[in-house]
Amino acid sequence: MQALTNRAKPVSRKPMTLVEKLYMWNILKGMMITLRHLFKKKATISYPEEKRPFSPVFRGLHILNRDEEGRERCTACGLCALACPAEAITMEAAERLPGEENKYREEKYAAKYEINMLRCIFCGLCEEACPKDAIYLSETFAPSNYQRKGFIYGKEDLLIPSPKENPGEYWKAVGNRKANKEQSN
């Protein structure tokens, strides 16, 4: 058949040698690549047993903070909800009753406080807006869940343990970054 252009290149189809027919050389070449990778530094880690260090500016799961006496700091002012660009925060305020001074720091507190993690973009504006140091983004991941409602975090999920009743769990929940900041103040 006549070629349309002169750009066609003839392909040489050399018959395979005996070594090539045995495929031994190619198998050895493949094994050597595998062996080389065995002794190389791994690009992956064994999560969750191993964890990568977070960036100093990492913003993770929200935490509702308590003061040094274990009282809830949040006064349900709504500034965090107002600052939230994703409209992820909702709350209901309640008046503190006589005798509840050891539970709530201010006269008004959040009886209900919810963050919809499916909306949240972890921008940290709620933390910036809070005048009471009541909410901040910790160094913890928001865990995965199979159901959408599992991503609606209520007050019981966000409020950290009391530093008076459970100091170990309190400092664990606070995280290193916030703990260092509080201790340097």
**Is 120 part of any known ligand binding site?**
yes
Q: How far is the CB of 174 from ligand SF4 (least distance, A)?
A: 16
Question: Residue 142: how many CB atoms within 10 A of its CB?
Answer: 17
Kindly report each contact of residues 17-24 with a partner whose C-beta sits within 8 Å and lies 24 or more positions away, as own/partner. none
Stretch touching ligand SF4 by CB under 6 A, among 10-18, 32-40, 87-95, 144-152 = 87-95
Asked if 99 contacts 88 with a C-beta cutoff of 8 angstroms, the reply is no
Q: Is 60 in the site for ligand SF4 (CB under 6 A)?
A: no
Residue choice 84, 158, 160, 174 for contact with ligand SF4 (CB under 6 A): 84
- How far is CA 20 from its chain centroid? 52
Q: How far is the CB of 76 from ligand SF4 (least distance, A)?
A: 5
Q: Which two tokens stand for residue 117?
A: 């993690």
Asked if 108 contacts 95 with a C-beta cutoff of 8 angstroms, the reply is yes
What are the DSSP calls for 51-109, one per residue? -PPPPTT---SEEE-B-TTS-B------HHHHH-TT--EEEEEEEPPTT-TTTBSSSEE
**Is 84 part of any known ligand binding site?**
yes
Q: Is 89 in the site for ligand SF4 (CB under 6 A)?
A: yes
Show the binding pattern over residues 105-144: x = contacts ligand SF4 (CB under 6 A), - = does not.
-----x----x----xxxxxxx--xx-x-xx---------
**Is 143 part of any known ligand binding site?**
no
Q: Is 174 in the site for ligand SF4 (CB under 6 A)?
A: no
Q: Is 79 in the site for ligand SF4 (CB under 6 A)?
A: yes
Q: How far is the CB of 72 from ligand SF4 (least distance, A)?
A: 9
Which residue shows structure tokens 């065995």?
38
Interface residues toward ligand SF4, by CB under 6 A: 74-80, 83-86, 88-89, 91, 110, 115, 120-126, 129-130, 132, 134-135
